[in-house]
Amino acid sequence: MTELSKSGAAVGEPTPASPAPSSFLEVRDLKVHFPTDDGLVKSVDGLSFKLEKGKTLGIVGESGSGKSVTSLGIMGLHTAGQYGKRKAQISGEIWLDGTELLSADPDHVRKLRGRQMAMIFQDPLSALHPYYTIGQQIVEAYRTHHKVDKKTAKRRAVEMLDRVGIPQPDKRVDSYPHEFSGGMRQRAMIAMSLVNNPELLIADEPTTALDVTVQAQILDLIRDLQKEFGSAVIVITHDLGVVAELADDLLVMYGGRCVERGPAEKVFYEPRHPYTWGLLGSMPRLDRDQQERLIPVKGSPPSLINIPSGCAFNPRCPYADVPKDNVTRTVRPELTEVGGQHWAACHMSQEQRERIWIEEIAPKL
């Protein structure tokens, strides 16, 4: 697998471009591009954020906004398992606990995977190997990083299954994924992710494939476990409702870039980007009438090969013409701070956005 270490000098000693940050996780100007027959797909195109231990970051966006690609990028899963001629092009920096992952030895990153950082996937049925028992899969995850015998590992697996709330864990440990219900499967998935006490847990749409009632249980479980283990958590979702109670910080992605980020309550109650407004409008809420429930974002997500010039959201933005000189269609807006640790990328002035939010959007929500 020599082609995996094409970064050359990066093998062995990491040679970061800039000094190590003090944050537990810091992503700087991350770009993930995929060459295809139709052109370069810019799934993530310059993303930066930080995350501390014990904190939860919610990354929100429509499908295709680059949120899952980001999480796989952090895990190093774009370089591992890339076969054939076309490989993902990744640049930027990902600092995890003082180590820059993109320039690190891929095998070193592999050893971190599953141990220091772990991931929960959207559909536990397809994410678990159908031919191995739950126990075998957890044992494998544990023994990859711990030199213990199978018996010890299995005890650990049973313990974890018990911890995530699976009844009769000593029996269920020998069941196959298809013998579990959806919720139980996701619990097992979580058990597998946490078996090595990872410091960073990435949950990619952890509840999307589940029933509404089960969703809440899983979210509760993640929250409890975070408290217990003190890990940093990234929850990736298209549904703001999922992260409403879970996240400390929120990051809204659109077209491969961050359009708004900040403390969760700020983004929720004082959003300063029209796209975030749209997301809030389309969020299902129990206290809302069915008829006026959804104000979906009009139009469809942008092509990641030909991202619209100017503000990537401009074709769908009802306020695209508010700023003068057609600037939304020619100049890409940069993130600017709109309040304490609250950033947004929009050409409209602070006042214009504040007025629209208060007068037009908030009352309808």
130, 167, 340, 363: residue in contact with another protein (rule CB under 8 A) = 130
CB nearer to another protein: give 74 or 344.
74
CB nearer to another protein: give 41 or 361.
41
When asked if residue 236 is in the footprint of another protein (CB under 8 A), the reply is no
Give the per-residue contact string, 72-101, with another protein (x = CB under 8 A; - = no).
x--x-x--xx-xxxx---------------
Q: Exposed e or buried b for every residue in 305-339, given b needs 16+ CB within 10 A?
A: eebbebbbbbebbebbebbeeebbbeebbebeebe
Candidates 102, 95, 116, 117; CA nearest to 21 is 95
When asked if residue 171 is in the footprint of another protein (CB under 8 A), the reply is no
Side-chain-facing half-sphere of 140: CA atoms under 13 Å: 9
Question: Dihedrals φ, ψ of 336, to 5°?
Answer: -130, 150
When asked if residue 150 is in the footprint of another protein (CB under 8 A), the reply is no
CB 152, min distance to another protein, A = 18
11, 88, 127, 307: residue in contact with another protein (rule CB under 8 A) = 127
Angle at 126 between CA 123 and CA 127, to 5 degrees: 75
When asked if residue 11 is in the footprint of another protein (CB under 8 A), the reply is no
Candidates 138, 117, 118; CA nearest to 129 is 138
CB 263, min distance to another protein, A = 29
Binding-site size, another protein (CB under 8 A): 35
When asked if residue 154 is in the footprint of another protein (CB under 8 A), the reply is no
Angle at 287 between CA 286 and CA 288, to 5 degrees: 95
Distance CA 272, CA 259 (A): 9
Give the number of residues written for the chain.
365
CB nearer to another protein: give 60 or 200.
200
Stretch that binds another protein, among 12-20, 46-54, 130-138, 320-328 (CB under 8 A): 130-138
Using CA atoms of 348, 351, 355, 361 in order, give the dihedral in degrees to the nearest 10. 40
Binding to another protein (CB under 8 A): which residues in 40-79?
A: 72, 75, 77
When asked if residue 167 is in the footprint of another protein (CB under 8 A), the reply is no
Tokens for 210, please give them: 């589940």
Task: Catalog residues that contact another protein under the rule CB under 8 A.
Answer: 1, 4, 72, 75, 77, 80-81, 83-86, 110-115, 118-119, 121, 123, 126-131, 133, 140-141, 144-145, 176, 178, 192
